[in-house]
Structure 1
Amino acid sequence: MEVDLSTDEKLSLWRRALLLIGIETGPRRGWRAHIRPRFFLLLLGIVALGFVGLVGFAAYSTSPSFCKSCHIMQPYYDAWATSKHSMVPCVDCHYPASTPRTLLWKKFQAMSQVAKYVTRTYSSKPFAEVDDSSCLRKGCHSTRLLQGRVVSAKGVLFDHRPHLEGVRYGRQLRCVSCHSQIAIGRHIEVAWDTCYLCHLKDRTSGRKIEPLGGCQGCHLLPDREIKVQNVTYNHKEFLAQHPVACESCHQDVVQGTGEVTQDRCFTCHNEPKKLERIGDIQFLHQNHVTKHNTACFHCHRELRHVVTAAGTKKLNYDCTLCHTDMHDLQREFYRGVGAKGVPPMPSPMYLSNVDCVGCHLEKKQTEVDVGEATTYVGNEKGCVDCHGQAYLGILPETQKLVDETAAKLEAKLEELKKATATATDPALSREANDAVHDATFNLRFIIKSRGVHNIYYAAQILRATDASLTGVAEKLKAKVDDLSELPVISGAFCATMCHGKVGVKVPAETVKFRGKDMPHKQHIDDGQACNVCHTFGVHKDVKLKPIAVCKQCHEDMQEDPEPEKVEDK
């Protein structure tokens, strides 16, 4: 049965409720509120209870059990509980020993994390900062810097002072630069990847491994015996008698490069201004390592430092560890550099980005014909694949022509050496010796690097060498062979070896020369070689010789007028 209370009855209920908390009102009081002492006592009790609750919550929020109340923190809590820091509350490390204002700010941040958890806007991968002041506070590791060199459980020597005091190689390290949790289950342990990056990145060159501080800067020589099959070995005793480098046996201890690729930056940043500074190494380390606890592996690719167990090494080494500079001559010759007294002249194929594998296509078995080892050597297949069947045979003929020309120049060089030995003029003798020295180098350069790698450069070298030897021979009044008309030296090889075989068309029957029609084809039909009128250098760079050459046949040809001289006014 519903009861419909009148207005007076409702007001009566409100007055009774207010009276319970110490507020009296009604007609007797002229409808004015009268505050009894009970109200103040009750208010004081509520405030006291709230304060006690707030203090209690603040105290509870500093306990590790509060941290694990968030499910994403359980793995980190478990790692902490089994670590050496299990007796240290979380806040002692994650809250720096600083002013109350800083602590309040940290509390505000913690409450914001609670809000994120409640609203489900949190990340499943929490990020925390640990300040050095937390580690070095009194009662923790305040004397760590004074301990000097210590030995880790892995037998690694370490001294905290030089790593934490001052800038080292452009980097200011922090405690958490080396001590962090990069994997679940290892709480604030040494992240050895950091050590490897600092000490080993860019410290290998060929067969040389030169770690920062040296191998024995971190490692003690093992003083225990190692038995490999029937041989007992002790590092300390052996190295005391034999100065053998560590990399003689441990060449594969550095695996990986530790490089930083730009795609790593995009995982955290997308602001153009920040991305523009990817090459500023000092800025990057200052903001990621010194100011913030960004683990090295977030940016660097893995670099491992391992020792392979005896008898399990795969020997997957680059050939250049032992065979250094084996093809430097060929590389330089292909690029058109290295000869003495000859300007650079890259091969047209080099300028077209043709790599070694474009021509070295033939598999050649090793000399002993044992195993499956093969070497790829150059053959005509590369020529035909790119240029067609018309080029078949040009490769061996070209190499033969270069070798024959070089052999004749070597004979000419020997004759000049004899004449130089009898020279009486000191200045002329020095000039002749310099020419002999350069010619000897250039000829060996061509022979060792194989002239076909850059026939145009080979022709230039042979031409310059012949001209140099001829010039010195004339001064010494020595009789030497004139080799200037040889195809490679004169440039005629272009027409006889390539154009004639491949079918390169000569210009039209007539070409414009000095404003007149010149019967170009008639010169060819009359038996004139191309090099009679033209000089040859870079591929397809054919130039006319001076007019004086033309006048040898055409006596009535006029010299080119000299340009008018402009006098200063």
Structure 2
Amino acid sequence: MAFWRRSKQTEISPQTETREGKKKAGLIRRLWQKFRNIDWKNPVNRWKLGFALLFGLIAMSGTAYGAIAFTSNPVFCSSCHEMAPEYQTFKASAHSEIKCTQCHIEPGAKNMVLHKIESMKEVYYHIVGPPDPIVQTVPVLKVNCGQCHSDNRLVTATGDLKVNHKKHVEESIPCITCHAGVAHGKVVDRGINGSETYDHWTEENIGKLMTKEYTNPNMGTCIDCHDKVNKGEKPWKDIAYSLPVNTHGAEKDKGHDSEKAATASGDGTAAEPHDSVVGVEGKHETNTKTQAIILQALGKQKEDVKLSMECLTCHEEISIPKNHQQKNWNQGHGGAALKELNQCLDCHKDSKWIREMPKQDILTLINGEKDEKYVPNIKTVKDKSRDSAFCSTCHAERPDGHGDSDNWLTAHAPKAKTNEAKAQCFVCHDKEKPAADKKTTAPTDVYCQFCHRTGFKGEKGA
């Protein structure tokens, strides 16, 4: 038996080894062996190899170029749902005839390729999870703007506005610092590019969402920058100053945003975040910084002012209304505000004086707010004056007519006999003690029922 087994194994093993050897020779190995067996001394074979390599190089280059050209087309950007706000605003902008890459990628083939490689992570995020709203983290560089626009402009004149364009260029102020809304209407700052808005960004709605108010530089940007220059700063040196504030998932992404800002600044340090937004309509907080800016713009603060922020510095036609030049206007303008509130707000709207944009509701913009005729109403005037940083700049100060506290407390009753007279008091004072869970908008913490604890005459039993 032992001999038989050995004999059988002896007879079978050569065939088995042959079959196993044949299985190990795969396609790649066979091709490599065939390649090695080629006679490379033969010039014909060398020419064949050269043509094959050249063809492969052309094919790869063509594929890469086609991929870059395809992904650089704005239509490609629109294929992602989250790009709807950016694509529709782009189509409605003055830059609709150029490609996105001409603004958002620094010129040069190397920069283009590196950007495309880096953008692969955005494709990954788009596929694996719900897409976040688009927020620009890298500013449009001046060199990109220079591909189409010339620096040789002394003054920019738009209507009655005159801007020293050359001076801004000499200071190396990035174009995007002033012209942030030219292509996308500041949709991030306005808070109307969140996921809940994507379906509303259509060609039918774009006319109501992309207006000159948001594409042109806003006065608040000029005032904010000039205020910082007057304090010895050059805010445009910080890359974050030229970028929109990322308000999407602020708490969750706080650390991530700081990391992005550090990368964008180029020095590994996180850029300082924007100052908190105060005084913007819809918010009740005001502070001395906002009010100080407004006073400078009115020309009432002139100490250490390097750049004048008075209206007539930049505007040729806008002037102070004649009734504002009357003696003691600041003491008696409440009646005019009651009659002509809408006219007052044309100039004294906070959003015109402050850089940050108030948050908006896209449905309200699309459906349109009816311009109802203003009917004089003291409550409306009171609410507007309290919410306005402009009004509270003066309303927060004790009026001259109140005199000394002791005398005023015993003598002000005749000045508050009627409901109309009381309403004027309520412009600054709350009637009742503010609830602990409610933030008052009154510019003073003195409320009427601190003394009038039993109420006012004529109101008992009401």
TM-score, reference length from structure 1: 0.37
TM-score scaled by length of structure 2: 0.44
Higher relative contact order (CA 8 A, sep 6+): 2
Larger Rg: 1
More strand by share: 1
